[in-house]
Structure 1
Amino acid sequence: MPVATPTVAIPGAIRPAAPADLPAIARLCADHAAFEGAGPVPADLASRLEPPLFGPNPRAWCLVVDRGGELLAYASWSREFSTWQAAEHVHLDCLFVAEPYRGEGWGRALLDAVKDAAEARGAAEVQWQTPDWNTDAVRFYHRAGALGRPKVRFSLPL
């Protein structure tokens, strides 16, 4: 799978996550959750991510931006099914670029890489959500050609 890189020449690389990246991915997830005002991530998040990302039957995938061994950003996704379309799509669960690295093109490069991965897996589209108050993200996604669909997200604890 070819991985997109930013259009500007900046050091770093987008690559598939590896098990050794899990502690850094967990830190990025914690920063992402804090940015969105969500509750804290589980203390054992890194170990909990290992089976769905790297187990014998992966349920999710993750790309990271690696600059000299430091992870600056990540995108994670899974395959889902749309009954309305009778087709699979990719659900982009997270796309996050750490604050100091925003504006360098990594967000768009990650989005393009997820889109490429979705196409390679035969998905009909990529779907995701972002908080409506995050106007920078909404503007970014519109510039990338995405269409917004108003919905309310629910969660039913079990």
Structure 2
Amino acid sequence: MISIDATNTERKGKYIKDEEVGSPLNNCVMRLLVTENYPRLCLFANRDIKAGEELRYDYGEANLPWRQIHLMIIHLMITHLMSTRTVRRTMKKLLILKQRVKKKLMMIPTLHPPWKVTVTKMSFPCKSKKLSTERSSCPPHAKPEAQGQVSVQRHTWTAVERHPWSDSLITLSN
């Protein structure tokens, strides 16, 4: 018997095809060897194996599911039914979630006239504490009336809400 050496496979596991006892395709035999008090399963070739030929070994049990066609068909049917049920449950949950989102969206006030909608970054009242009247960053209405005065001009808004998907504010004005 010739040992099949798998030491150069970078510690990767290999699958060996199952073949029934007495099949001409069966080309391997498994043996238990104990070395240094460690049991090891070794695969031996029982005939000459050509390059590219699949390794085939008898796992020993005649009632394995893949050896019995009717058990395999039953297994596939059960798997299909379970996956179908799972898909149905998932679809039902998604439909319920979609309905909840629609209800919540219906509770948000619509942004149609008579309101004028503007989306801006977070804007705060302009506070001018400098003595200079020239402030290019302030709008004209927020500039101090005279030197030495501190002017705070506030806007009057109907509603200010935070936009749900960004840091912008939705400003509803009259």
**Shorter-chain TM-score category?**
under 0.3
Higher relative contact order (CA 8 A, sep 6+): 1
Larger Rg: 2
Normalising by structure 2, report the TM-score. 0.17
Give the structure with the larger helix fraction: 1
